[in-house]
Amino acid sequence: MKKILVTVLALTMILSLAACGAQGQDSSGSASGKAAASAASGEAAVSTSATPDLSGQSLLVYCGAGMQQPFQEIAAAFQEETSCQMNVTYANAAQIQTQITESKEGDFFIAGSSDEVKPVKDNVSGSVDLVKHIPVLAVAKGNPKGITGIADLDKSDIVTVIGDPESTPIGKIAKKAFSDFGVSDAVTLGATTTTAPQLATVVGLGEADATIIWKENCNADGVEICETKDLDSYIKTVPAARLTFSTNSAAADAFSIFLSSDAASQIWTANGYELAG
């Protein structure tokens, strides 16, 4: 892939700030407030008739940074209903895999795709699919370069950004799509990012013309989805993998049930996801 320098200083600052905001965050500080807001709006309400009291218990969950918005709401709702302390770490797949392998602790891994669970499969006791993860070709608002599909990304005047293929599932998809469509050596690659949400920001700010991104992350100003079926065969699913280190079985069991509840499903769909089943 040809590489160019795209407003180096501005782009570096954007990506650094975005990465700092997306990684290593803990939902515990805002869980009650988020759940209270959901309750006030009447969204994703959870029946309390059979809700367990998990006061004094806690769960450690790893979640892909691209899913931070919906999962913060899910964790907050579960904490509000059960009083279980939810500690959530948001990072890219490679970072989470390293943390799981080295720390030997945690209860769940909410991964961007089932492929991202494979490197830590020896530490997983079970997994269930939650929602579809749909990749799309995103372009600048109004599509000024007239992009119609992946094949157009080989044009010299089109700058593309992608997720890091070594650390993010959306980056792996982009790399494979370029290869499948025969444009790997012709794409003008402006930059790579460590998390999916950063990609829409870069295109929205005019630093690039196109990107391959998850559908639900394509909500930044100045960005729109290119209507093409080129990426239909690359759709993944988001799994909830339960880790073998989990020692709080009551809380983990309750959270597993909650993840399959209507309340959790409503949060996912409200954030632009399609249910897996």
Q: Which residues have C-beta within 8 Å of that of residue 16, sequence separation ≥ 6?
A: none
pLDDT at 16: 38
How far apart, in Å, do the first and last CA atoms of the chain sit?
Answer: 38
- For the chain, give the number of residues: 277
The answer to whether 135 touches 231, Cβ cutoff 8 Å, is yes
Query: Which ranges in the chain belong to alpha helices (H)?
Result: 8-22, 31-41, 68-82, 93-103, 169-180, 197-204, 249-259, 262-270
Domains, the chain, ranges and CATH? 23-43+50-132+236-275 (3.40.190.10), 135-234 (3.40.190.10)
Say if residue 201 is exposed, middle or buried (CB neighbours under 10 Å; 0-12, 13-18, 19+): buried
Alpha helices by DSSP H, 129-196: 169-180
Label residue 72 exposed, middle or buried (CB < 10 Å: 0-12, 13-18, 19+). buried
pLDDT tens string for the chain (277 positions)?
A: 544 433 332 333 333 333 333 333 443 333 433 333 343 333 443 433 467 999 999 999 999 998 999 999 999 999 999 999 999 999 999 999 999 999 999 999 999 999 999 999 999 999 999 999 999 999 999 999 999 999 999 999 999 999 999 989 999 999 999 999 999 999 999 999 988 889 999 999 999 999 999 998 888 889 999 999 999 999 999 999 999 999 899 999 999 999 999 999 999 999 999 999 7
pLDDT in the model for residue 148: 97
The pTM assigned to this predicted structure is 0.77
Report pLDDT for 1: 53
